[in-house]
A and B are shown apart, each in its own frame.
Chain A
């Protein structure tokens, strides 16, 4: 099935600026979350209409969060293009994000699965709570990894949880123990994705050549920065905050030590991957014979999300 989560006629023709904004926004996205929905749904008894609805839902929520995020962070670029708030004004960016979330609710309520509507509203709420708390951590240079994990569980992991739980809800499989397991798995995937994304900011496994040190320069200590800062002296921390290039980062406490810390960080996250594998085995025992192929697909995800294997 070819997933085209966004079509121009999804939105009213009498709002040309809104359509132009969405054309820009959706044109360069990878649609990873939509693909994940499709991959999971392939193993379950879910109609193609429902798969499309879920894929669209997650992409709309994700893109709404990007519109709002970019404005909050004052990021000038999104997917290597001028961010919507700069190109179309902050007011339009806010309205466009709000409109996407409203569309999500309209589309889901038309579909009529109440549990799915309720769960979607919950994750949108989590997402916003995470965004709100994250904003309070700007310029907080001594934030701990545990504190950041809490934010990421709300902000990043909520979407991953939705991706792996929603297809089961659409398939009317609402066993509590199954959803507890899926929820934990989503949480771990979100954590791995976020930590890998934070590594990109230090040019680690940055195969797409994304801009680096953006978090640090906006006054935000991401998970790897926090991990690096654990053993730093106050003097090193002060230098670290002012780094503009990765070579300046290496100079703070030596290139060798930087990569030793990276190795430790990877080891730390391997434990998360092992835990995810353990939950995959647990999930396998809860699935029907015809659904078990899903586990093999899920086991590949940490490789894609953390190690960035294509």
Chain B
């Protein structure tokens, strides 16, 4: 059974008092679009690049505003050992593009809808390969039986 742990990306975590300017720069230097907000080891929120724009810039928040003023909380999470099917169901239930991955309630990373779709599309490609071969080479049909 394939689980989330095979798929999830690295998670980046910051303290709640970190400024939104710092977090924006951190997203740029780390190449991620979502950062976990951790109070000690406890996951208290998730902030995305979209949150920084819609809840920060668009509302004229100062660049030194705390990141916990724009984060999403509580966070929708999924266990690292959950099957991929559970992630599909969770994405379907919530209008989200990213889920926080936890292991025994501790944050360990992020899984995105993009990652899941790419993985599923690989599976679909494998499943459809025999069909595609039949369409491309219909002469592979079995010959009709010869009746004397």
- Say whether A associates with B: no
Interface residues of B (CB under 8 A from A): none
Interface residues of A (CB under 8 A from B): none
